[in-house]
């Protein structure tokens, strides 16, 4: 849904188990055979493109500010679709020192083909697309082979001086990859006891604890997990597969120490880290005073200041070391007119304070994939910062990186989830507003004229609100009119259409933002004509397709992301003399997932009127309900494609 | 870097007294922006534009320095931001190259943002903290900077210098961008001892294009050698004075470039000027031809370790290849066997190259390589198999068209293998894609002509030997409930076969059939099979048993049967009414659908879609549709033929109509009467 550019600029667990290229390494391979492919149990080959034969992760916490992470991974690549597992990438930056990347590749029988040489390893900049500057780099070792199967073994280690986040452990985190054996060992000194959260571990796989000298050791293992396939409309895989989340009790990043046994403490660390960075120059203070002159309502003041922020700054991401967490001073933003999410939120907070309106910066996991949060496990689960303005009647949330967002609107990027407020007393976990089916509307009204050849001409007005306008609004602000038209063509999904006129307008006056699209369309042969009949599909622009047919019983819950309401009213002027021969029967459906109504009426003046209303409630449903959902969607799809037949009397 | 050769003194002598030169005023003065410059109404092509370049002024000159000669490139650019979508113009990326310890240097970066506040121009400087360097990889760095205080209506202005020792590569200039450009000007100052070839791109005219000879002077530091040729450790500063060629190109009111469907690469269409060092001449006797003739290029390529050198080496495939000479007598079959040999030994790593990069031995050991490494190895393997094989240089479609009259190596980016089967009969081979039948070129290589590198160098046609073929053949039975069931065979031949085999390889057979099912929601597949996956010479066959539930029967009403709509796989690729540039499909296309429907006894046909024949001028394409009834069997046939690979903008309307009409025709239902 949300197409807001990823304004992530809060540094997250870089070392994560989910390195894009996959991670890995090996005890130097000897001359004997290792990892023969025929030793893989049949159940693990089923539906798999790759099999993780062995993965051993060791996290050694040396001190509050230093940890060493070692990974050994052996993966058999069964076919071309598994070839990403023949490559290993290790991310590093100023705070992460890369120690080594080793590896070897074996043939089907397990005989070593060759070791990974240092000359095989390439080093690339790994700046995310939205940043102008970061210190992220990646070392990549490539052992891919022309023939399958083969087995790639990688071993790597890095030392990190960023201990705020310990890497998550989820050795099986992709579709079509099975896991033979994986272990995690976390070694901590006595003064830094480990915090962990086990999720979805099979019975008997919970932690085992031991001592290694004075050090405490926590160990986990997983064995023989068959490959999984993500079902349509199911929760993200990382919420389905076994995982262990680990986090520090105390940490230190570039000399900034903190403790992390509660949200309060985490919030306190971040608050203190950014203390003293929100001073403003007298010029800026004067500017604010002028802006809010004559206003007493804090909401009005906030709106005025937010609009000023939007008109005088822009988002530029620069991330370096502690700069991943610590903002540029407000004065820098005032001078440059740009900053990342932290800098812009902090600057806006300073402006508001100068106008007597208190506000708090808040950490959030932005993006659709971060809606779910482990609220019972305080740790760095954030990638973004926004601003929260508590007001007597309601609370206003401000997205300070966007120059176009409506005041107080969060959209699918940060709405409907938890955020951590950073207050002088420490962190406070709060909920951000959720946008329901009645707010996410798409209302369409169209008038279509059909001529005797079946050609159509339509004027269409569509107003989208709430989450349904997120993408539209984003495009409206980032694309040229020409690009928007090209995009509209794709969206129209009609076999033949020409957009004769188009116009898009954003409206931020209401409680929820809206975008209205006005189109004038030429629709050659919109109604198919065979002899003296015209075949017309009354549903002009909102035909929904049914989910792909299911194979076997549904395993995972059904997750419907966006609740919404669509309402279409389409009127057709049909050529004189044509009478309806077959009119689709009205359809009315009501289910736990939502409701649907569609009807075609021939009005007394011969006009054909089509009215459709679909409301989807969103939310999570049991796997057992999937069949009913499928049935609901199939009925809708069928009704959406129903045809009206008009016939001209034989002359 | 071009080292200073011993002929410097000669150059000095060869230079004549400079003629009088009148310096043309620069079109822009950095730092001078006035209130009137902010008015968008004074500029052109700005409707819908997020920003407009007011002036883009670049100058390249050759200058002497401590270690020979440099290209010094200076740019001044001024941009008016019209709306927030134009903010991205405030972040500037300057790509810099480095190789063998030498690197291009970004110098003198300066920038201002101007805002008009209350009728007065406020000016803010680019701060040092806004300038960055990103090391992309070993050869590439990007200098980046971002300007402060950008708003709607801001004027952005920046200037920078790139100093480069790579004199073979004079900075190219692009007049056209994705935003309109009011004035774009490029000047070069090239001393007489260097000559560059100019390669223009695009379709737009110059406002000015002029050259004159001017006087030129520069200083070069030169290492002093003793009479035995050894360096003495001392250096001399030499001052050179000679004539230079001062050139100037200007375009004004350049519209924004918009990409259209079915284009090769924007490079082929964007107005731009590229340069390549042609020759170095210190005096009349010492001419060093850098690029000159295709024959010389061929000779040098063959001498190059990373090209011709590759062909000289025995490889671990040599014995097997030599064995093929006797095992497979037919040359075409032998060539195919050689391709298979290479593909089994080495995997394509996805990198498009013309030269090899990694030694052959390493490539065979790593079992993966670039396109050049694979195809050079293929040539060697073909030769080992007793075939006459040669390299052919190609510019891929995404690299752009080549100009055969400009002998420049940089026009190419890819190497293919050629085998002469008989005089005048070339077989072109490529080892990168195991899904390609030997003799079928990768689609990326269908780009005009290639240059055969060898003693008898010549141009080789890269026209497709295959078409894009899509055949559907269905036999269906209609039952009394209005259900259709039967068998459907879909064949994908030529390039359609390559695409579909690629999709099967990428997604697996199960997902492939799954995605096919998603595109045909009305179908229930009772059986599906993907056949001839490995038989690349034949079309890929999708064999399906299907059941299509009929509409709920209503007595007394006719039965409407949208049979051909079930097979409407093609969507109109041309929604846009206008076309600015040619439509380049790469190859000819054919889509044919034949459906037989057996009707239940007693059913009669009330209406059938009318027969249709549409033809493009000169028979360059046609659409035929016919529905006939024989006994109780209906036969429907639809055929869309596009005979050309490329259609001109003037043919666009007819081409678009062909698609529109054929799609409309597919949607016409049959009207049947029940007994």
Query: Quick check: A438 pLDDT over 50?
Result: yes
Could you read off the pLDDT of B177-201 as tens digits, one per residue?
999 999 999 999 999 999 998 888 8
When CB atoms are compared, the residue of B144, B152, B575 closest to A133 is: B144
Work out the minimum CA distance from B505 to partner chain A, whole angstroms: 7
B149 with A529: Cβ contact below 8 A: no
- Judged by CB atoms within 8 Å, which residues 628-667 of B form the interface with A? 659-661, 663-664, 667
| Parts of chain B with a pLDDT under 50 | 1-22
Query: Quick check: A31 pLDDT over 70?
Result: no
**Helix (H) or strand (E) run with residue A635 in it:** helix A626-640
Testing the interface with A: which of B671, B672, B674 to mutate, by most A Cβ within 10 A? B671
3-state class of B365 per DSSP? Answer: helix
**What mean pLDDT value characterizes chain A?**
90
C-alpha separations of B36 from A274, A440, B80 in Å: 43, 45, 12
Work out the minimum CA distance from A482 to partner chain B, whole angstroms: 7
Nearest CA in chain A to B515: A548
Nearest CA in chain A to B608: A530
Q: Flag whether residue B261 sits within 8 Å of chain A, measured between CB atoms.
A: no
The tokens of A151 are what?
């087995």
Predicted local confidence at residue A6, as pLDDT: 32
Query: Quick check: A19 pLDDT over 70?
Result: no
Q: Which domains does chain A have, with CATH numbers?
A: 47-251 (2.60.40.3140), 282-431 (3.10.620.30), 441-647 (2.60.120.1130)
Predicted local confidence at residue B552, as pLDDT: 63
Closest CA to B61 of B185, B244, B239: B244
Predicted local confidence at residue A11, as pLDDT: 44
Testing the interface with B: which of A334, A338, A474 to mutate, by most B Cβ within 10 A? A338
* ipTM exceeding 0.85, yes/no: no
Burial zone of B617 (CB within 10 Å; 0-12 exposed, 13-18 middle, 19+ buried): exposed
Predicted local confidence at residue B23, as pLDDT: 56
Residue A600: which pLDDT band, with cuts at 50, 70 and 90? very high
- φ/ψ of A222, rounded to 5, equals -130, 140
Which residues of chain B are within 8 Å of residue A318 when distances are taken between CB atoms? 132
C-alpha separations of A206 from A59, A200, A201, A243 in Å: 17, 10, 7, 11
Contacts of A277 (CB under 8 A, 6+ apart): A326, A327, A328, A329, A330, A346
User: Of A49-53, A208-212, B391-395, B401-405, which gets the smallest average pLDDT?
Assistant: B401-405
Secondary structure E strands in A213-268: 215-225, 243-247, 250-253, 256-259
Closest CA to B414 of B465, B383, B456, B460: B460
Which residues of chain B are within 8 Å of residue A499 when distances are taken between CB atoms? 575
Work out the minimum CA distance from A175 to partner chain B, whole angstroms: 12
Which residues of chain A are within 8 Å of residue B346 when distances are taken between CB atoms? 146
A546 with B346: Cβ contact below 8 A: no
A149 preceded by cis ω (within 30°)?
A: yes
B669 with A535: Cβ contact below 8 A: yes
Query: Quick check: A413 pLDDT over 80?
Result: yes
C-alpha separations of B410 from A448, A496, B291, B293, B403 in Å: 55, 42, 10, 13, 11
B136 with A637: Cβ contact below 8 A: no
Residue A245: which pLDDT band, with cuts at 50, 70 and 90? very high
Closest CA to A378 of A344, A418, A424: A418
When CB atoms are compared, the residue of A337, A524, A533 closest to B671 is: A533
Predicted local confidence at residue B555, as pLDDT: 65
Q: In whole angstroms, give the CA distance from residue A407 to residue A43.
A: 54
User: How wide is the angle at C-alpha A242 spanned by C-alphas A238 and A245, nearest 5°?
Assistant: 80
Q: In whole angstroms, give the CA distance from residue A479 to residue B54.
A: 21
Closest CA to B247 of B418, B58, B102: B58
Q: What proportion of chain A, given as a percentage, has pLDDT over 70?
A: 93
When CB atoms are compared, the residue of A312, A477, A498 closest to B575 is: A498
Work out the minimum CA distance from A232 to partner chain B, whole angstroms: 12
B85 with A524: Cβ contact below 8 A: no
Could you read off the pLDDT of A502-541 as tens digits, one per residue?
999 999 988 899 999 999 999 999 999 988 999 999 999 9
Work out the minimum CA distance from A356 to partner chain B, whole angstroms: 25
Long-range contacts of A428-434 (CB under 8 A, 24+ apart): A428/A263, A428/A264, A428/A267, A429/A263, A429/A375, A430/A362, A430/A388, A432/A364, A432/A397, A433/A397
Instruction: Tell me how long chain A is.
Output: 651
Predicted local confidence at residue B5, as pLDDT: 39
User: Of A351-360, A443-452, B5-14, B581-590, which gets the smallest average pLDDT?
Assistant: B5-14
Query: Quick check: A261 pLDDT over 60?
Result: yes
Q: Provide the Cα torsion A54, A56, A57, A60; round to 10°.
A: -170
B50 with A498: Cβ contact below 8 A: no
Predicted local confidence at residue B22, as pLDDT: 39
Query: Quick check: A472 pLDDT over 50?
Result: yes
Could you read off the pLDDT of B33-90 as tens digits, one per residue?
999 999 999 999 998 899 999 999 999 999 988 878 999 999 999 999 999 889 999 9
Beta carbons within 10 angstroms of residue B529's beta carbon: 11
Residue A77: which pLDDT band, with cuts at 50, 70 and 90? very high
Predicted local confidence at residue A4, as pLDDT: 31
A114 with B366: Cβ contact below 8 A: yes
Testing the interface with A: which of B81, B125, B149 to mutate, by most A Cβ within 10 A? B149
Could you read off the pLDDT of A559-584 as tens digits, one per residue?
998 999 999 999 999 999 999 999 99
Query: Quick check: A131 pLDDT over 80?
Result: no
Q: Which domains does chain B have, with CATH numbers?
A: 8-289 (2.60.40.3140), 294-461 (3.10.620), 468-673 (2.60.120.1130)
Work out the minimum CA distance from B124 to partner chain A, whole angstroms: 9
Could you read off the pLDDT of B292-323 as tens digits, one per residue?
688 988 998 999 999 999 899 889 999 999 99
Testing the interface with B: which of A495, A497, A529, A550 to mutate, by most B Cβ within 10 A? A495
Residue A130: which pLDDT band, with cuts at 50, 70 and 90? low
Nearest CA in chain A to B672: A530
Q: A319 vs A276, which has greater pLDDT?
A: A276
User: Of A214-223, A296-305, B211-220, which gets the smallest average pLDDT?
Assistant: B211-220
The tokens of A539 are what?
């549903």
Q: DSSP of B24-71, one letter per residue?
A: PPPS--TT---GGGG-GGGSSS-TT-SEEEEEEEEEEEEEEETTEEEE
Q: What is the mean pLDDT of residues A37-65?
A: 96
Could you read off the pLDDT of A316-341 as tens digits, one per residue?
887 777 778 899 999 999 999 999 99
Contacts of A325 (CB under 8 A, 6+ apart): A10, A11, A164, A253, A256, A270, A273, A342
Q: DSSP of A560-604, one letter per residue?
A: E---EEEEEEEEEEPPTT-EEEE-PPPEEEE-SSEEEEEEEEE-T
């Amino acid at each position: 849904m949300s197409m807001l550019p990823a304004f992530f600029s809060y540094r997250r667990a870089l070392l994560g188990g989910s390195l894009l290229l996959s991670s890995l390494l090996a005890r130097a391979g000897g001359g004997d055979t290792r990892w023969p492919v025929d030793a893989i149990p049949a159940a693990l080959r089923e539906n798999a493109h790759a099999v993780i034969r062995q993965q051993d992760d060791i996290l050694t916490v040396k001190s509050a500010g230093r940890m060493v992470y070692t990974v050994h991974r052996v993966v058999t690549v069964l076919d071309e679709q598994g070839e990403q597992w023949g490559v290993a990438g290790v991310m590093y930056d100023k705070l992460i020192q890369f120690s080594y990347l080793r590896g070897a590749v074996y043939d089907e029988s397990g005989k070593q083909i060759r070791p990974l040489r240092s000359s095989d390893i390439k080093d690339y900049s790994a700046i995310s697309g939205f940043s102008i500057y970061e210190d992220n780099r990646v070392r990549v070792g490539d052992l891919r082979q022309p023939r399958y199967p083969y087995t790639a073994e990688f071993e790597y280690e890095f030392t990190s001086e960023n201990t705020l986040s310990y890497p998550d452990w989820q050795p099986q985190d992709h579709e079509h990859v099975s896991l033979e054996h994986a272990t995690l060992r976390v070694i901590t000194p006595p003064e830094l006891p480990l915090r962990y959260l086990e999720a979805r571990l099979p019975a008997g796989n919970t932690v085992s604890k031991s001592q290694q000298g004075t050090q405490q050791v926590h160990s986990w293992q997983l064995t023989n997990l068959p490959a999984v396939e993500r079902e349509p409309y199911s929760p993200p895989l990382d919420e389905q597969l076994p995982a262990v989340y680990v986090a520090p009790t105390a940490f230190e990043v570039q000399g900034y120490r903190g403790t992390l046994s509660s949200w309060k403490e985490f919030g306190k660390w971040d608050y203190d880290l950014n203390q003293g960075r929100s001073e403003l120059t007298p010029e800026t203070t004067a500017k604010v005073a002028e802006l809010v002159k004559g206003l007493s309502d804090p909401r009005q003041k906030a709106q005025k200041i937010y609009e000023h922020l939007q008109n005088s700054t822009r988002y530029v991401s620069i991330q370096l070391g502690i700069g991943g967490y610590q903002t540029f001073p407000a004065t820098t933003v005032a001078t440059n007119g740009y900053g990342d999410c932290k800098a812009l939120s902090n600057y806006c907070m300073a402006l508001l304070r100068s106008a007597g309106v208190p506000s708090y910066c808040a950490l959030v996991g932005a993006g659709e994939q971060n809606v779910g949060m482990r609220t019972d496990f305080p740790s760095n689960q954030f990638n973004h910062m926004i601003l929260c303005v508590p007001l007597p009647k309601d609370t206003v949330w401000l997205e300070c990186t966007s120059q176009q967002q409506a005041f107080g609107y969060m959209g699918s990027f940060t709405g409907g989830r938890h955020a951590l407020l950073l207050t002088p007393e420490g962190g406070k976990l709060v909920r951000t507003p959720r946008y329901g089916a009645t707010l996410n509307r798409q209302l369409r009204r169209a008038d279509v004229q059909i001529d005797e050849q079946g050609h159509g001409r339509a004027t269409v007005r569509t107003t989208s609100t709430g989450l349904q306008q997120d993408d539209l609004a984003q495009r409206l602000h980032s694309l040229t009119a020409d690009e928007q038209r090209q995009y509209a063509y794709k969206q129209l999904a009609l076999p033949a259409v020409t957009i004769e006129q188009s116009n898009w307008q954003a409206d931020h006056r209401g409680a929820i933002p809206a975008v209205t699209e006005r189109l004038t369309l030429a629709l050659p042969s919109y109604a198919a004509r065979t002899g003296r009949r015209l075949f017309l599909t009354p549903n002009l622009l909102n035909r929904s397709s049914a989910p792909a047919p299911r194979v076997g019983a549904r395993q995972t819950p059904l997750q419907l992301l966006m609740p919404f309401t669509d309402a279409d009213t389409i009127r057709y002027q049909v050529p004189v003399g044509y009478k309806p021969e077959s009119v689709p029967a009205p359809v009315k459906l009501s289910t736990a997932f939502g409701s649907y109504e569609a009807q075609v009426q021939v009005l007394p003046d011969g006009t054909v009127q089509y009215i459709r209303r679909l409301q989807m409630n969103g939310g999570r449903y049991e796997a057992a309900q999937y069949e009913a959902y499928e049935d609901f969607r199939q009925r809708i799809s069928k009704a959406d494609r129903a045809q009206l037949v008009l016939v001209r009397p034989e002359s | 870097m071009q080292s200073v050769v011993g002929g410097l003194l000669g150059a000095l002598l060869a230079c004549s007294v400079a003629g009088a030169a009148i310096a043309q005023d620069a079109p822009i003065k950095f730092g001078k922006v006035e209130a009137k410059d902010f008015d968008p109404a004074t500029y052109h092509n700005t409707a819908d534009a997020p920003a407009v370049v007011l002036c883009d002024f670049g100058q390249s000159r050759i200058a002497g320095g401590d270690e020979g000669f440099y290209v010094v490139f200076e740019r001044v650019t001024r941009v008016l931001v019209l709306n927030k979508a134009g903010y991205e113009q405030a972040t500037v990326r300057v790509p810099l190259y480095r190789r063998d310890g030498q690197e291009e240097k970004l110098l003198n970066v300066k920038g201002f943002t101007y805002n008009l506040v209350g009728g007065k121009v406020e000016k803010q400087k680019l701060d040092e903290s806004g300038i960055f360097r990103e090391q992309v990889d070993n050869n590439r760095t990007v200098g980046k900077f971002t300007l402060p205080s950008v708003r709607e209506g801001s004027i952005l202005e920046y200037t920078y210098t790139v100093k480069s020792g790579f004199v073979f590569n004079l900075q190219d200039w692009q007049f056209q961008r994705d935003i309109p450009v009011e004035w774009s000007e490029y000047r070069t100052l090239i001393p007489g001892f260097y000559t560059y070839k100019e390669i223009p791109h695009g379709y737009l005219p110059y406002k000015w294009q002029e050259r004159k000879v001017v006087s030129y002077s520069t200083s070069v530091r030169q290492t002093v050698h003793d009479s035995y040729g050894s360096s003495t450790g001392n250096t001399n500063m030499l001052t050179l004075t000679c004539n230079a060629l001062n050139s100037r190109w200007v375009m004004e009111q350049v519209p924004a470039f918009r990409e259209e469907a079915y284009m090769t690469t924007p490079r082929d269409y964007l107005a731009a000027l590229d340069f390549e060092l042609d020759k170095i001449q210190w005096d009349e006797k010492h001419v060093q031809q850098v690029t000159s003739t295709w024959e010389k290029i061929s000779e040098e390529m063959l001498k190059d370790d990373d090209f011709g050198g590759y062909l000289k080496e025995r490889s671990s495939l040599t014995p097997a290849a030599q064995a093929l000479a006797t095992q497979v007598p037919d040359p075409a079959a032998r060539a195919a066997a050689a391709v298979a040999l290479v593909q089994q030994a080495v995997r394509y790593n996805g990198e498009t190259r013309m030269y090899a990069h990694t030694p052959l031995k390493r490539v065979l050991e790593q079992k993966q390589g670039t396109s050049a490494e694979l195809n050079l190895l293929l040539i060697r393997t073909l030769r080992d198999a007793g075939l006459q094989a040669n390299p052919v240089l190609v510019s891929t479609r995404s690299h752009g068209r080549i100009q055969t009259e400009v002998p420049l190596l940089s026009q190419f980016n890819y190497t293919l293998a050629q085998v002469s089967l008989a005089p005048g009969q070339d077989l072109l081979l490529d080892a990168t894609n195991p899904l390609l039948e030997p003799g079928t070129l990768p689609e990326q290589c269908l780009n005009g002509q290639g240059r055969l590198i060898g003693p008898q160098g010549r141009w080789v046609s890269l026209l497709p030997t295959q078409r894009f073929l899509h055949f559907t053949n269905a036999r269906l039975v209609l039952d009394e409930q209005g259900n259709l069931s039967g068998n459907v065979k879909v064949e994908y031949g030529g390039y359609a076969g390559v695409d579909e085999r690629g999709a099967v390889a990428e997604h697996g057979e199960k997902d492939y059939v799954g995605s096919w099912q998603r595109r045909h929601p009305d179908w229930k597949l009772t059986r599906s099979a993907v056949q001839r996956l490995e038989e690349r010479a034949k079309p890929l066959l999708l064999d399906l048993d299907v059941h299509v539930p009929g509409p709920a029967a209503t007595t007394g009403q006719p039965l409407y049967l949208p049979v051909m709509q079930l097979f409407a796989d093609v969507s109109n690729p041309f929604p846009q009414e206008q076309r600015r540039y040619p439509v380049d499909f790469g190859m000819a296309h054919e889509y044919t659908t034949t459906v037989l429907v057996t009707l239940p006894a007693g059913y009669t046909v009330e209406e059938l879609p009318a027969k249709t024949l549409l033809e493009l001028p000169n028979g360059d394409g046609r659409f035929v549709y016919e529905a006939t009834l024989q006994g109780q069997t209906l036969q429907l046939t639809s055929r869309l033929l596009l005979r050309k690979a490329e259609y001109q903008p003037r043919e666009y309307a007819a081409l678009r109509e062909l698609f529109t009409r054929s799609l409309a025709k597919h949607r016409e239902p049959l009207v049947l009467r029940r007994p």
